[in-house]
Every structure is written in structure tokens, then in C-alpha cells.
Amino acid sequence: MAGAAVLGRLGPLRWRLAEVVEVVPETPSAATIVLDVPDWPGHRAGQHADVRLTAEDGYQAQRSYSIASAPEDPRLALTVERLENGEVSPFLVDELRAGDRIELRGPIGGYFVWEANGGPLRLLAGGSGVVPLMAMLRHREATRSEAPATLLYSARSLGEVLYRDELERLGAAGAGLRVSYTLTRERPPGWSGYDRRIDGDMLGEVFGPVDPAATAFVCGPTSFVEAAADALVALGHDPARVKTERFGPTGG
Amino acid sequence: MDADDLRLDGNSLGGLLGELFGREMTAALGTCASCGAVGEVATLVVYAHAPGTVGRCRACGAVLLRVVRAERRMWVDLRGLRSLQLEPLGEEP
């Protein structure tokens, strides 16, 4: 019932018990957790959810994870990167199994979101900062949006790149999506992409002239996000159209 | 990890403010009582690893909000915010 869905979306945040449908390894250090969430009110591309774990002695730990799935996907997917010494992510990536249940609340966020009619996309990802941007690209594909999109994805090595096969498919000729990589630490032999931290020259080459209708979404570690956002503004992008989301150690 | 990476932003306040206000708050526009800068709550500079959560103005660094949770109580200090502007419920984009 549409009315119920609307009420659900506007209702206060509450914890729901979500059931793990499957855990899909993405890289040696990251996995996608596919969940069945009862009464999930739906989400917008770019939003996140909070996950809460409770130990037998009652100790609780809570973390935020970006939603990777498109709003059109009936199941909710979170991609989680394992942080060494993390309290929550090693459990989610290594221990969680289909049929397990975890507490989850969301969707959360109203700023770092993109709607399919929201104009051209300039996406900048640092490491697992690609996750909410992937939700935008999946939303773009699910709605057959013709908004041109460009993704610049900075990772330490090719082995750490998330969703590589899917990005290749989404970026196939004629799809209106261009994907560029920069690998900052380790390159495979014959690598022809970028091999350094992002800078103004790179952003100028990848994104071309400033398009006043475009919105840039930048997500990654704080140092990456601030360098990228500053460089975009220096190139002439309207600061109000450069949206940022910083990941931090609390992601553990 | 750089020391800089301990600095988050107001996107991370979504769950906490959702609990406090019962609605999405990160797209709300806050006005800094110190310098008058206006920006979305999502753009605040946030330190969440302290005993409480602190949100600072991105323009001048003044403390705009503090939330401390202890002993089954929450303390909320918003005195650094002159105002919050937000869409009435049901009229969000």
C-alpha cells in the first residue's frame, strides 16, 4: 500500500532485525552483505544504514555502512571493508552467514543522495568510498537514466577495486558512463591508467570542462575527500554542487 | 590512516540526529551563531571519537552542537546554532 510506504519513510528511525540472505566476497578484504529487511521503507541512492551488534554480555557496538544496492533492488546490500583491529567489520566480513540476523536502522541521510533525474554525475571515489556511488550508478541503470556519468576511482591496487566487472559492464560503449582508475600503491604490468594520488590535472582530464548542471559526489577517507573537493572547486566547480562524505575510523 | 581521517562530517550525524529529532536532519541548513555561515548539517566538521559527538562550523570552526550519551541519558547542546531551516515533514524533495 503506497500510503503505508510513505508513512514508513517519514517515520522515526527504528531498529529492525534484518536476515542475511548471502555474503558475497568482493575482494580479500571486503564483502557485500545482502539482507532481507522486514518493512524496509525504501531508500535513496547514496544513503547509509546503521548496524548494531550485541555481545552475550550486553555490550553493543554500532557502525554506519553505505547502501550499495539501487533503490529498485528488492534486497538491501551493504558492502563492508574489513578494518584491521576493527570491532564490527571483521565480524561482518568474515563471520556472518546466510540466515544470521543483525540489527539495522535506516535509511539515513538526505544530503549525499542522487535521484535519477538529478542531472549529470561526476563521481570521485577513494577506496571503499565507491559504495554509495555504486548505488547511484545502479539506480541510474535501473531507471535507464540518460544522465551522463563519469567515475574516477582511486584505489591502492587493482585487487582492492570493488565491483570491477560490474563497472566494466556498466561502462560499456554507448552507456553514457566513463570509468577511470588511479592506482596509488601497486600497478599490474602494463597498467595504462593513472598511477598517483588525485590532483587538479587528473580531475581536469577526467571530467573535462565544468558543466554547471552536473553534481559531483566525493566519498572516501577525509584526506582524499578534502583534496578532491578542493581541486574541483579550484577548477571552477560550484562548491554547492560538490557533495562530500567522509569515511573515518569509526567505520571499524 | 592520516590523523585528518579522525575528522568526519555531518553525514555521520544522520542516525544520532534522527534519534533526537525523529526525522532526517542532515539536509537541514544550519546557521552558525558565531560567524553567520549557512550550510547543510551534512557539511559540519564532526569529531565522533571523543567522549561525545562534536559538530563544528566548516567556515570558522566554532562548536555548533555537542551530544553526549552517558548513564542512559543524552545531553544535547545546540547553542552554537543560531537556527536550523528544514522542510516540513511530507514536503521534502
Q: What is the pLDDT of residues A123-168, one digit of tens each?
A: 999 999 999 999 999 999 999 999 999 999 999 999 999 999 999 9
Cα separation, A180 vs A206, whole angstroms? 7
Residue A140 burial (CB count, 10 A): 24
Output the pLDDT for position A173: 79
Region A12-28 average pLDDT = 94
Output the pLDDT for position A250: 44
Instruction: Confirm whether B92 is domain-assigned.
Output: no
Q: How many CA atoms lie within 13 A of A163 on its CB side?
A: 29
Q: What is the pLDDT of residues B15-48, one digit of tens each?
A: 999 999 999 999 999 999 999 999 999 999 999 8
Q: Could B8 and A246 be called an inter-chain contact, meaning their C-beta atoms sit closer than 8 Å?
A: yes
Judged by a CB distance cut-off of 8 A, whether residue A217 touches chain B is: no
A159 with A81: CB under 8 angstroms?
no
Q: Could B27 and A110 be called an inter-chain contact, meaning their C-beta atoms sit closer than 8 Å?
A: yes
Residue A68 buriedness (CB in 10 A; 0-12 / 13-18 / 19+)? buried
Owner of C-alpha cell 563492508 = A80
Cα separation, B23 vs B21, whole angstroms? 5
More confident residue, A15 or A10: A15
Output the pLDDT for position A82: 94
Cell output for B3: 590523523
Chain B 2-61, residues with CB within 8 Å of chain A CB atoms: 2, 4-12, 14-15, 18-19, 22-27, 40-43, 48-49
Residues of chain A with CATH 2.40.30.10: 2-108
- pLDDT-based confidence at B93, cuts 50/70/90? low
- pLDDT-based confidence at A58, cuts 50/70/90? very high
Q: CATH for A2-108, among 3.40.50.880, 2.40.30.10, 3.40.50.2300, 3.10.310.40? A: 2.40.30.10
CA distance A95 to chain B (A): 25
Instruction: Confirm whether B57 is domain-assigned.
Output: yes
Instruction: Confirm whether B18 is domain-assigned.
Output: yes
By residue range, what is the domain housing residue B45? 3-85
ipTM: 0.92
Q: What is the pLDDT of residues B59-71, one digit of tens each?
A: 999 999 999 988 8
- DSSP letters, A18-84, are EEEEEEEEEETTEEEEEEE-TT-----BT-EEEEEEE-TTS-EEEEEEEB-S-TT-SSEEEEEEPPT
CA distance A174 to chain B (A): 31
Instruction: Confirm whether B91 is domain-assigned.
Output: no
Owner of C-alpha cell 544513503 = A47
A49 with A104: CB under 8 angstroms?
yes
CA distance B24 to chain A (A): 6
Coil, strand, or helix at residue A137?
A: helix
Q: Could A109 and B2 be called an inter-chain contact, meaning their C-beta atoms sit closer than 8 Å?
A: no
